[in-house]
Amino acid sequence: MVPPNGSAKCRTGCSQRMDAFVKRLPQAEKDDAGSLSHEPASERPRKRLRGQEVADSASERSDESSSGDEPTRGNGHDASTGDDELPRRSDRTTDVENVLPPTETDDGAIEKYELMKSSQKSSDGDETTAKGRPLWIKGKSSIYVDAFGLALDTVLEEESQLFDEKEMEVFRQWRGLNYEAQYLYVRLFLRKTAAWHRSSRLGYYADVPDAGAAIASLQSARSLPQPSAPDTKNPIPGLDLDEFVLGETFTFADASEEHITTVDEAASLLYLDELKALAKEAKVQGRNKAELIKGLSRMSRQQAGLMALGLGRRNGRDSNTSADSGALKSSGRGKVRREEDSNREQHFLNKIFAILGPCIRLSPLTFKLFERVHLVFYRSTEWTEKSLTTIILAKIARRNFPEYIVCRTSTIFASRTHLLEFEAALRLEAEVDGIMELSGTPSEDDMQRIVDMFDKVYPRWQEFVTEEQDKERRVYEMGEGAYLRRFNPAHSYTRVVLKAMFVFGRRKEYLKEYDLLSELLDQKLFHLARRGAWYQRKALLEEHYMPKLDEHAASTGREQQKKHWKRIAASTCEAGLQDANCHLIYHYDLQKRLVKLEKKLRIPRRLQHDFGHVRLAEPIEITVEGVQLKREVAPKRGAQAASTKTIWLDELGLDGECSVEEMCLSRFRSEGWKGYHAEGGVVRTLFAYLFYDILFLYVPNVFQTAYQTCPLDLHTDAFFPARASEINHRLVEIANGAGERLLREVWAREHERRTSAVGLNWDFDVEDLAELVRCFEGSALAAICKVMAQEYKHRGGGVPDLLLWRTGDGPGSSGGSGGDGSGGPGAPRGEVMFAEVKSANDRLSDTQRLWIHVLTGAGVKVALCNAVAREVREVD
């Protein structure tokens, strides 16, 4: 869909490169990414380990209990790190990675890249010469340095205003390093921590034949210019924006001889066997590495320890000055200690350095600077080595990408101060999350730390809310503000506010919690995906706790006050159900509470809300009997636990052995059903077909490369609000029966190119999909699509195992998705059923329960299929 003239206005940086907007890639060979076998039963989502389930979007599903009566549990701002954020920090991927096609990043893919690059030749200017010089030479170039350079060049081309003169000089000197030094720096940088590394262990890189020269280059001191502009003033007292400030000189890497000054730090670099040998020599005992280090550190300050090591005062480098045991000496870090104590520690350091040899560490100042570059490039702090290589390998992949307008603008971060505050806000958010994650149930001290952080940022958060509300009215157009706000410091500050609300709930300070909930619901800018949970929690407090806390309670009767707050709670539920940003997954709990409140208030039945049309039906229970096959399998070496996957006999097919899902699917097929075991694959494919043009609609800033399979905001809570009008219009079309037409139009236009679009699996037969769409009731298919549009990232999992359908003339068909089979617009011409297969060891996860609620609420039949072994056979 092309934006109308004048409306597709690209911000600064895009208008100069209009020729790069629409990218057509050459025809590709058959895309081998999609296959019906790509989701075998052995790789099912985390179904049986409930504790490892991915947190469910804003609600985190632990928040579902907020519709109950317990105020301190599931209060819409739980201690976990859920929200529309990614699950766990170690598992997170960047927005950029999420929009790339499935890409192999293993050694084989990198080797293919190197072969492709080394085959490219440059013209030497002589037309009579057939051969040119290689542009890329293995051992003198690498994918890691190329990717690092791509990130740096892209950021400086578009957003150089975010860096000051000193930082630009660092980048210039980086480009002046020889290849070996650049390669070594990048490989150490990819470890994502400025830790110490033994220089002797770095020579294994084939690209760094002379590690000593590369290390010397990185450790050499380099001068920096004096800044012409004054330093940035911190907008938040106590929040240090320029925590890492470059001085007059810098190095790319530090030397251990200059920077390791304590026995604790030096001893921590020793391997355990080395540490044990040194401890044995010093007669230090300990049960683990930490105790040994602590013992050595203590021994370094005792005379006996030195004598045991044969390190008398005269063995040290400062023995001529150590005779005066009463002399005082500065430690160089503002502390003054006895010179004798300093010499003792130095002796131990010398002993450890003799074992370690020289060590190298990336300088924290330049390390943090390049991290900032990658934050700007990836729009995320969660990049990894895979992030770095994926973007280049995806770029050269033989794939066809959708047509869309590419626009990487410089408006994501409005200024350097904005970027620095965003970076500081991320650090603060991570600190708060760390308190919650590490402490389990936070202690009083931990909770007070969170409240202190909240007090620090709360006024600034209010400023940002007011500022963004003004921008929404006067500046932003075409929904661009929704995605840009994810890079506003207030996005992280809102998370801090949520954690503070959790603390207030734990402390039973419900009035403070209520005031914050009201303030959060008054703004419609940040963390919109949480609004449903906030409505739930607010209604709960109003029903149970506000009557006691209301300062006007004394002037009215107790029962009258309860009634007053129940009316307010009912109004809160109504507001939530009418709020376009309150996701569908919260509607059932709000409806349930509203009905309960209206009964308690004795509202006449004719005036009560009737939600009978969306009343949840219980999943039907089906038992499928089969023959289970058991074989003795030796556990794999290093395996943590035996697999819970079971093997069954496919009695009705020709495949012999099969998974429990395939066994059940075979049984359903014998009863006239068609279907797939795809665990969400069909749902994602239908969504891609039905919303294809909306997925690739022009919205500023969400298409920043020419090789994306979806917009950058699809996996966030910004996707729906930025396209609310188009999405709602499409949902009405689908409800009125236009689904098959939309599907066939996209298939006719794109199937020859096998376009790489998110979720779209071309291996599903288009006639099967069209028949499936006809069997859906239009409103039911629209409800499923709405959930996907609101929470695509979190609703891709948890879909029941089997998606089944049969046409109206099939055996046993009741007509409809569970509907009435009427002939109006969007009426079904068959029957659809989802089936969740359960064997003896299975339990439903929270995400699976949620999908069952969504489907039954939409009128779709859901079955819980219990696989029972009528016979167990031992096989070889």
In this structure, the strands spanning 197-198 and 647-649 are unpaired
E strand or H helix at 874: strand 861-874
Contact predicate 388/190, CB 8 Å: yes
pLDDT score recorded for residue 762:
94
Residue 101 per-residue DSSP state: P
pLDDT at 711 over 80: yes
Residues 344 and 370 in one domain: no
CB atoms within 10 A of CB 489: 25
450 plus 579 within the same structural domain: yes
Total domains in the fold of the chain: 3
Q: How much is the average pLDDT of 362-374?
A: 91
241 within a domain of the structure (yes/no): no
User: Do 370 and 442 have their domain in common?
Assistant: no
Rounded Cα distance between 641 and 201, Å, is 35
490 and 369, same domain (yes or no): no
Q: Quick one: residue 57, left, alpha or beta (phi over 0 = left, psi -120 to 50 = alpha)?
A: left
- What is the 3-class SS of 142-175, one letter each residue? CHHHHHHHHHHHHHHHHHHHHCCHHHHHHHHHHH
CA gap 17, 409 in Å, rounded: 11
Between CA 74 and CA 55 the distance in angstroms is 13
Count other Cβ atoms within 10 Å, centred on residue 707.
19
Instruction: Calculate the CA 745 to chain-centre distance.
Output: 33
How far is residue 78's CA from residue 65's CA, in Å, rounded to a whole number?
11
311 and 162 housed in the same domain = no
At residue 31, the pLDDT reads 37
**Which is it for the CA torsion 664, 666, 672, 678, positive or negative?**
positive
pLDDT tens readout for residues 106-115 = 566 666 666 6
Residue 152 pLDDT class (50, 70, 90 cuts): very high
Residue 505 lies in a domain: yes
The DSSP element (H or E) to which 511 belongs, if any, is helix 510-522
Kindly state the tokens that stand for 544.
Answer: 């149970």
The SS3 assignment for 70 reads coil
Mean pLDDT of 668-678: 90
What is the torsion angle, in degrees rounded to the nearest 10, for the CA atoms of residue 154, residue 156, residue 162 and residue 167?
A: 130
| DSSP codes joined into one string, 609-623 | ---GGGPPPPPEEEE
Q: What is the pLDDT of residue 517?
A: 95
854/408: higher pLDDT: 854
Q: Structural domain of residue 492, as residue ranges?
A: 36-75+400-614
Q: Averaged over 845-852, what is the pLDDT? A: 81
- Residue that finishes a domain, picked among 614, 642, 676: 614
Q: Dihedral of CA 332/333/338/344: which sign?
A: negative
The CA radius of gyration of the chain, in Å to the nearest whole number, is: 32
* 179 and 214 co-located in one domain: yes
Average pLDDT over residues 497-518: 93
Domain match, 369 and 354 both: no
The answer to whether residue 59 sits within a structural domain is yes
User: What pLDDT is recorded for position 602?
Assistant: 85
**Over the stretch 39-70, which tens digit does the pLDDT of each residue have?**
333 333 333 333 333 233 333 333 333 334 44
pLDDT tens digits, residue range 275-302? 888 888 888 888 888 888 888 888 777 6
Same domain, 295 and 277: yes
Same domain? For 339 and 386 the reply is no
Q: What is the dihedral of CA 335, 339, 345, 347, to 10 degrees?
A: 150
**Predicted local confidence at residue 313, as pLDDT:** 42
**pLDDT above 90 (res 520):** yes
pLDDT average, residue stretch 177-205: 84
Answer whether 0.85 is exceeded by the pTM. no
Is 473 in the same domain as 490?
yes
Question: How many helices, marked H, and strands, marked E, lie in the chain?
Answer: 33, 16
d(CA 755, CA 796) in angstroms, rounded, equals 20
Exposed/middle/buried for residue 265 (C-beta within 10 Å: 0-12, 13-18, 19+): middle
Looking at 574, 589, 614, which one is the last position of a domain?
614
- The answer to whether residues 834 and 848 touch, using CB atoms and an 8 Å cutoff, is no
Q: Is the pLDDT of residue 553 over 80?
A: no
Q: Does residue 628 lie in a domain region?
A: no
Contact 677, 667 (CB under 8 A): no
Q: Please give the average per-residue pLDDT across 21-48, as a whole number.
A: 34
Task: Identify the band that residue 716 occupies on the pLDDT scale cut at 50, 70 and 90.
Answer: confident
* 158-181 average pLDDT score: 92
- CA 392 vs CA 97, 312, 580: distances in Å: 11, 58, 39
Q: Which residue did the predictor score with more confidence, 339 or 791?
A: 791
Distance CA 479, CA 285 (A): 64
Residue 242 has pLDDT above 70, yes or no: no
Q: pLDDT value at position 549?
A: 83
CA gap 733, 723 in Å, rounded: 15
More reliable by pLDDT, 230 or 558:
558
**pLDDT score, position 823:** 61
pLDDT, mean of residues 720-737: 94
pLDDT category of residue 778 using cuts at 50, 70 and 90: very high
Residue whose tokens read 């890492």: 244
Residue 104's pLDDT band, with cuts at 50, 70 and 90, is low
Mean pLDDT in residue range 848-861: 86
Instruction: With CA atoms as reference, report the closest residue to 181 among 150, 149, 147, 145.
Output: 145
At residue 717, does pLDDT exceed 90? Answer: no
Least confident segment among 14-23, 95-104, 496-505, 570-579: 14-23
Domain match, 319 and 367 both? no
Residue 71 pLDDT: 41
CA gap 457, 493 in Å, rounded: 7
Average pLDDT, the chain: 76
Which has more confidence, 841 or 696? 696
- Mean pLDDT to the nearest integer, 404-408: 83
Cβ atoms of residues 64 and 589 within 8 Å: yes
Judge whether 135 and 121 are in contact, CB under 8 Å.
yes
Q: Please, which pLDDT band fits residue 34 given cuts at 50, 70 and 90?
A: very low
Q: State yes or no: pLDDT of 390 exceeds 80.
A: no
pLDDT at 382 over 80: no
pLDDT of residue 413: 87
- Domain membership of residue 671 (yes or no) is no
pLDDT at 298: 84
The rounded percent of the chain whose pLDDT value lies above 90 is 28
> Which of the pair, 268 or 840, is modelled with greater confidence?
268
Confidence of residue 509 (pLDDT cuts 50, 70, 90): very high
Checking if the pLDDT of 18 tops 50, the result is no
**H or E segment to which residue 866 belongs:** strand 861-874
Domain membership flag for residue 178: yes
Q: Please report whether residue 287 resides in a domain.
A: yes
- Average the pLDDT over 669-685 and give the result: 90
User: Pick from 599, 614, 629: which residue ends a domain?
Assistant: 614
Note whether residue 496 is domain-resident.
yes
pLDDT at position 103 is: 58
68-72, 292-296, 686-690, 776-780: segment of lowest average pLDDT: 68-72
CB 847 within 8 A of CB 54: yes
Mean pLDDT of 500-507: 93
Whats the size of the chain, residue-wise?
A: 876
Q: Which residues pair with 659 in a beta bridge?
A: 647
Tokens representing residue 537 in the block: 């929690």
**Which tokens hold the place of 33?**
């990414």
In single-letter form, the type of residue at position 225 comes to: P
- The CA dihedral of 766, 768, 769, 771, to the nearest 10 degrees, is 120
| 353 & 374 share domain | no
